[in-house]
A = this chain, B = another copy of it.
Amino acid sequence: MVITLKKILIIEDNESIHNVIEELLKKENYDTYNAYSGTEALLLLEKEKYDLILLDLMLPGLKGEEIIKKVNNVSIIVLSAKISSDDKVNCLLSGASDYITKPFDSKELLARIEVQLRSNNKNNVLDNIKYKDLELLSDKHTLLVCNNKVSLTKTEYAILKQLLLNKPQVISKNKLLDLISIDTEDCDENSLRVHISNLRRKIKDYTDNEYIESIWGIGFKIKD
């Protein structure tokens, strides 16, 4: 089994502080990436997906506040010498997840990093998910339909898991497409339709209940 390391992007222009943070994180077995200016950070953010960003505010090129506004879907912890309440509030309200003032305590920084990574993981529940005749076995990537074992492909599993985890809710087609392909735009909506169709067939083999409902123009959901 491969445990992938968490990728953390450190955006900080002061080289000595940068190095301290980098070493601290490396010791904890995080996968660190470095940006020394706001513009460099943006370039890196376009190329790769990170689990967390540590962000200094006073940066050459592009201010940290601007980066917060541009980033989406990645947790940001601001690390700043600015202690004014307004600075904190601004950052937090515009998208940062936490704000730590320098000088910071390394243990506290590590703990707050854990908190963020933990909340990212909320979706990845390891427990099995049961619903009526269905039981999704997380360890084996299989599905029980009325206690009959049905093997799912990786994609089918991901789709069904997303639907079951958010059960009453409609999941948009785009959200489901994101699950299927990390690469952008290369995946057809039609492909998703085929996966859904296959899932429905596999379920239908063992029960007459319908589980996956289409919401026209929006996406799919699990039927009540």
Copies in the complex: 2
- Asked if A178 is an interface residue, CB under 8 A from chain B, the answer is no
Known: A125-B169, A153-B216, A215-B141. A85 touches B114 (CB 8 A): no
Q: Does A122 contact B (CB under 8 A)?
A: yes
- Known interface pairs A85-B107, A221-B140. Does A123 touch B166 (Cβ–Cβ under 8 Å)? yes
Q: Does A111 make an interface contact (CB < 8 A)? A: yes
Tell me the count of chain A residues lying within 8 A, CB to CB, of chain B.
36
Q: Decide if A134 is an interface residue (CB 8 Å cutoff).
A: no
**In angstroms, how far is the closest chain B Cβ from the Cβ of A151?**
9
Listed residue (A85, A86, A111) with the most chain B CB atoms within 10 angstroms of its CB: A111
Q: Are A154 and B217 in contact (CB under 8 A)?
A: yes
Check A170 for interface membership: any CB of B closer than 8 A. yes
B115 A89 Cβ-Cβ under 8 A: no
A46, CB-defined interface residue at 8 Å: no
Chain B's nearest CB lies how many Å from the CB of A6?
Answer: 16
| A179 on the B face (CB < 8 A) | no
**Known contacts A92-B112, A123-B123: does B139 contact A169 (CB below 8 Å)?**
yes
Interface string of A64-101 (1 = CB under 8 A from B): 00000000000000000000011011001100111000
Interface residue? A168 (CB, 8 A): yes
Per-residue contact bits, chain A 108-126, to B (CB 8 Å; 1 contact, 0 not): 1011101100010011010
Which residues of chain B come closer than 8 Å to A114, judged between CB atoms?
92-93
